Amino acid sequence: MTDLVVPTPTPDLTVDAFTRAFLRELNFGQGVELAASSVNDQYLALARTVRQFLISRWLETQKRQREAQAKSIAYLSAEFLLGRQLDNALLATNLEEIAGEALRGLDIDLAELRDAEVEPGLGNGGLGRLAACFIDSLATMSVPSIGYGIRYEYGIFRQTFVDGKQVEQPDNWLELGSPWEFPHPEAAVTVSFGGTTSVEVDENGVDRTTWTPSWSVLAMPYNYMVPGYHNGRVNTLRLWSAKATHAFDLSTFNAGEYADAVRSQTFAENISKVLYPEDSTPQGKELRLQQQYFFVAASIRNFIDQVLPEDFDLHRLSERVMFQLNDTHPVIAVPELMRILVDEKGFGWDEAWAVTRKCFAYTCHTLLPEALEVWPTELLGRLLPRHLEIIYQINDDFLAEVRAAHPGDELRARRMSIVAEHPERAVRMAYLATVAGAKVNGVAELHSQLLRDKVLDDFATMWPEKFTNVTNGVTPRRFMRLSNPPLSRLITEAIGSGWLTDLERLSELEPYAKDAEFVRRFQEVKGRNKRRLAGVLEHRDGIEINQDAMLDVMVKRLHEYKRQMLKVLHVVTQYDRILSGELKVEDVTPRTVVFGAKAAPGYRMAKDIIWLINSVAKVVNNDPAVQDKLKIAFPANYNVTLAETLIPAADLSEQISLAGKEASGTGNMKFALNGALTIGTLDGANVEIRELVGGENFFLFGLDEPAVAALVDSGYHPSSYYEQNTSLRRALDLIASGAFSDGDRHAFEPIVSNLLYQDRFLVLADYQAYLDAQAEVDLAYADKDAWAGKAILNISRSGFFSSDRSMRDYLERIWHAAPVH
């Protein structure tokens, strides 16, 4: 029996046909007439109409993959920050104009339906957005792939501000329905936890371990379509939702114990309830580990049992799949595959390990030691006893290899052990991934070098061939074509079409940086984008901005190493100079400084910095002495949707993390591709951006990584910078005086004291260099035509930072897979 695949709609689809399809969905899908329909009804009907034109391609893609049995990439990630789906689907199906005209004929505004879509908050920042960019590129490049993650019921929290302080609210993104997902309860996978293990001798005299779990949950898959750009391919993102194996106890309910009757359902569904549950408690830590094992166990089981042919020889597994570990969250997949091969499939240990080591690759996304996950053996042994046994055996075999290569060097063996003995016995997941992975990569040239030289140096010495670099990238479909239509049109008029799938062609724009007419039109585009942002911020947040001012933007997760505090000190210094008369108001370059950042709920210092930013904004924005020359905007709940409006409007991109701390960054790439100039340190991908766009088109400041290390090693005393720098002393004293806290001198004392006596990320050491670079920014911005020319050069020289190029690098250097056109 052959699969029935509905043919793709013909290219000459008419507006009338689309209108009929939309009304059919509205009537028979939503059960309402047009006259009685709500905006949400209309949005859901439109989404289901558009997805019809993807489903046939999706089914055809799956059919061809079953036939070809080509090698697939299984991308395991705890986060997928997708953004809104409607525009992406309209772009992939080339239905933007037809849908818009059809809706206008029904007196419906497409823009209003776009705004009705709620963005799924299934990520915390760069890690999740990178994963979404990568699966977009894999589909566009016709690479067989499947993304695996968690369908968090509430995702990342919705940020609100109360008296300037961050307050977390649940992000109920599923409340009004999600038309882009396809639930498959019949394909649910059982995932087990706890229990005990026992050893028995099989018929061949081999010891076999049996795991007897104490409890289980069901992992129910929800499939999302991942369309390529105008190539007919639609890959799959599979997100897992936790369900109870026995959700409801009728006898308990009938006995009047209503809460107990659904206790198992509540317990199970907690696993996929919230992205990154607060883990300062033992219960929070355990729930995080449950989440990680839950999704990788379901994913590996799904690939082996439902993607591979029934009679597939698992000795050849590496010919059919590479499991890409997106950071340490999915690393528990390594012992899970070993468990399946050894305990369930009857493999010998050595043959199972030989297979496993070819099937995993590990991307490290951090240089911060505290961000490299470790799990206490007590917790692992209680929750996943068989997996801890497997990890112990992997470690024993590995340490034997280390000792054989370095006899007598027991200190090296201790350093490299997957199992740390101090301060508590714990499994170092990054080490496990490095030992098990076929390849280990960093995400920018500097980051990869520091991984090899500092973070995983012993491993790089032992296996230099394992380590490589793949610099991150972003998808130009979303972050140029969808987020910045006027710039995309201008580029296409200049260099023709095709650049959206070959971003290196942006180099053809370089001569236009000196073309007066093109520069003028680029400035018009930037002005239009600023007006659009102003409208969004006023409607969304009640924030008014000066559309004629420089738009100075710092948007990223709030962490001390990213140094939002350095930006705050710059703002406070400018404000102080205006108040003191050191700067005449008429000589000040007008600036609107925009922050966007969420702090982890348990990260006290980060939340205090958010409070300080809002407190400074309240004073500065309402002081008539500033005369609209300096304003601060901090819209709450920064997300992908707001980024798509904010980034195209930006003039200056703040990438000011301490050198040697940022892995790569992708916001820096998005800003450069949309015509913002960067002020930044030599950190992460800033290094490569500066090399490509030219030092004259990048505002560099601060210590480089070797200088940072030397300063720290020699003994860093931040208070000495305070004592020697008058501007810095006045800025910190102004904060400490209560000037931004209604006279309360204690409000921001933790921040001031931390900077004066600890300053782990060298804010005070880089303060003066940062101010000097900002003075250069002011001078450069005064010549608007020259600034625009530099912005155009940033665009033309940033084609390297496409996620399509990143995927080519992964395919060639790590996955050894090929597109299937």
Contacts 24+ apart (CB under 8 A), 641-645: 641/83, 641/84, 641/119, 642/536, 642/540, 642/596, 643/483, 643/555, 643/596, 643/667, 643/670, 644/83, 644/478, 644/479, 644/482, 644/483, 645/483, 645/529, 645/532, 645/533, 645/536
Strands 467-469 and 215-227: unpaired
Q: Which letter, b or e, does each residue of 377-386 get, where b requires 16 or more Cβ atoms within 10 Å of its Cβ?
A: bebbbbbbbb
Residue 767 token pair: 């303060």
Instruction: Please give the Cα distance from 552 to 343 (Å, whole number).
Output: 57
Token pair in block for residue 769: 């260099």
For 476, the 3-state DSSP assignment is: helix
Please, what is the Cα angle at 155 between 333 and 323, to 5 degrees? Answer: 20
Token digits for 295?
Answer: 């999704």
Amino acid at 180: W
Selection from 266, 268, 279, 214 nearest residue 241 by Cα:
268
* Pairing status of strand 321-326 against strand 72-76: parallel
How far apart CA 578 and CA 624 sit, in angstroms, is 11
Q: How far is CA 377 from CA 165, 197, 242, 280, 332, in A?
A: 37, 16, 25, 17, 13
Residue 270, classified by CB atoms within 10 Å of its CB into exposed (0-12), middle (13-18) or buried (19+), is middle
Tell me the C-alpha distance between 559 and 562, whole Å. Answer: 5
How far from 89 is each of 139, 232, 516, CA to CA, in Å?
A: 13, 12, 36
Q: What does the alpha-carbon distance between residue 31 and residue 36 come to, in Å, rounded to a whole number? A: 10
- Alpha-carbon distance of 498 to 228, in angstroms, equals 14
- Burial of 821: CB neighbours in 10 Å, binned 0-12, 13-18, 19+: exposed
Reduced to 3 states (helix: H, G, I; strand: E, B; else coil), residue 280 is: coil
Place of tokens 């809104």: 84
Backbone angles phi, psi at 798, to 5 degrees: -110, 15
CA distances from 665 to 84, 114, 204, 652, 691 (A): 21, 28, 54, 16, 16
| Cα–Cα distances in angstroms (integers) from residue 379 to residues 134, 271, 431, in the given order | 33, 16, 18
Distance CA 493, CA 512 (A): 12
802: helix, strand or coil = strand
Work out the number of other CB atoms within 10 angstroms of the CB of residue 68.
Answer: 10
Residue 341 and residue 347: Cα distance in Å, rounded?
Answer: 5
What CA–CA distance (Å, rounded) separates 385 from 198? 11
* Burial class (CB within 10 angstroms; exposed 0-12, middle 13-18, buried 19+) of 507: middle
Helix (H, G, I), strand (E, B) or coil at 315: helix
To which residue do tokens 């007598």 refer? 408
**Residues classed as catalytic:** 365, 556-557, 562, 666, 670
DSSP string, 207-263: EEEEEE-SEEEEEEEEEEEEE-SSSS-EEEEEEEEEEESS---HHHHHTT-HHHHTH
Pairing mode, if any, of strands 698-700 and 677-680? Answer: parallel
